[in-house]
Amino acid sequence: MVKKALLGIICLVMVLGLPFTAHAMGLEVALGGWNQKPQGDIGYKPITATDSLDLEKDLKYDTELRLTGRVKIDMPLFIPNIYLMGTQCEFDGTGQKNVNFKFGDETFTANVDFYSKVKLDHYDIALYYGLPFLKTATAKMLNVDVGVNARIVDFKAEVRQDSTGIEESKSLTVPIPMVYIGVQFAPIEKFAIEAEGRGISYSGNSLISLIGRIKFRPMGPFFIAGGYRYDRIKIDEEDVDADVKFHGPFGEMGIQF
């Protein structure tokens, strides 16, 4: 599973990023892992509050290490820069509720174990510009990026109760337009502090994604980085009602030209 996810992220980077690199003035590529702690709840065709499944209490999900990959491409003047990012987000476990509950068109029995899996893989494509003259005015120490971001959320949830033979699942793909803001502060050549924010709220859907990163370049174009990431995803689409959070530390390594 991990190898398959890693291959998918690498393929995304190559397919979307390579056509632009011939014209790039700068390139950054990174792969890493994000230690995701899940919180929140999901429901599929919920009728009452008991049909909402808590990720921790009901589904018994725990913190998981998942893969991430990203590419930033600095384009020539007047052409927007490009930021691609892929994030694996998947949890499964065996849980139990002390009341009957509905998931989709099925009713699951109280006090009987059930297996569940929730996937919320997402892919970001951002187009952005750096604020004019700021980097030059600060001797390349400070840069601020502003742009638009499209996040594609690949959602799938399944619940299966083997002892009763009941199972239900739901899949959907949700494109979410967002605002993107990035800040990079590099007081010295080999060290940088970075922050990224993406967010939107509309029609019952909302999403916020915050990343803080410390980057160190020990030699040449190679860098290592670590930080903290917080994502909240609220979806009300096609009978799916989800309000979930994922947060935790991450680490990555890559190259930057």
Q: What are 61's two structure tokens?
A: 């999900």
Query: What is the reported pLDDT for 26?
Result: 87
What pLDDT, in 10s, does the model give residues 135-167?
889 988 999 999 999 999 999 999 999 999 999
Alpha-carbon torsion 171, 159, 89, 238, what sign? positive
Please state, for a pLDDT cut of 90, what percent of the chain lies above it.
82
Tell me the whole-structure pTM to 2 decimals.
0.88
Question: Is residue 109 within 8 Å of 161, Cβ to Cβ?
Answer: yes
* Per-residue model confidence as pLDDT tens digits over 96-117: 999 999 999 999 999 999 999 9
Which residue numbers in the chain have pLDDT < 70? Answer: 1-24
Go through the domains of the chain in sequence order and give each one's CATH number. Answer: 2-256 (2.40.128.90)
| Residue at 127: amino acid letter | L
